[in-house]
A = this chain, B = another copy of it.
């Protein structure tokens, strides 16, 4: 059996997210499995580095699948990009080690969240960014982000139901960069909980608008209480940029 690794790009707008839900669904995983099944002539399970929610985009999602097909990689790449919908693309393909597992071997991820900070809409960004018309205090958001760096229990920043799984994660870097009206928030860490970045973003934006203090970030973390954190912001502003191994 070969183990094939894929680098994927998708615009999440039209999809119900990464994870397959039923036989004829509208998910990225479902679309890929249906296509790869036809390409390989056997049932294929695609393993992603992690789920992305409905509406979330990816520029560097990683996935792998096992197959007994002998089709050359170049041919697979052409086949997939010919038959995939225009909003999903395979940007790289390679043979992986037999034990390589996209999810279990991932040691970190980079996500980016885009905000158009203007009361004027931008038609070229409306699928990939949210619009925030209020003035945002860049320095306050950057200082607030500083509290999130390092290893913390991020229980306050997830919509996941109470469970036995650890909610401890490490954030290595948060970069907030403004170019004209576009603000990008880049998060790098060893893993992110369900809805974590979208709740972190909601909280940072409340700091930026002056609705909560910079110092309140620490209280939210320590509280481990979802209600203390900010609102869940829309999925469309979020893009999975890179998965690290």
Q: A residues near B, CB below 8 A?
A: 9-11, 57, 59, 77-78, 81, 86-92, 119-124, 126, 128
Contacts and interface: CB of A to CB of B under 8 A. Distances in A.
A9 B89 contact: no
Nearest to A59: B124
B86 A126 contact: yes
How many copies of this chain?
Answer: 2
B121 A86 contact: yes
Contact of A89 (B57, B77, B121): B121
27 contacts: A9-B122, A9-B123, A9-B124, A10-B123, A11-B123, A11-B124, A57-B124, A59-B124, A77-B120, A78-B119, A81-B119, A81-B120, A81-B121, A86-B121, A86-B123, A86-B126, A87-B123, A87-B126, A88-B123, A89-B120, A89-B121, A89-B122, A89-B123, A90-B120, A91-B120, A92-B120, A124-B128
A120 to B, nearest CB: 5
A128 B123 CA distance: 12
Given A9-B123, A81-B120, A86-B126, 7 more contacts: A10-B123, A11-B123, A59-B124, A86-B121, A86-B123, A89-B121, A91-B120
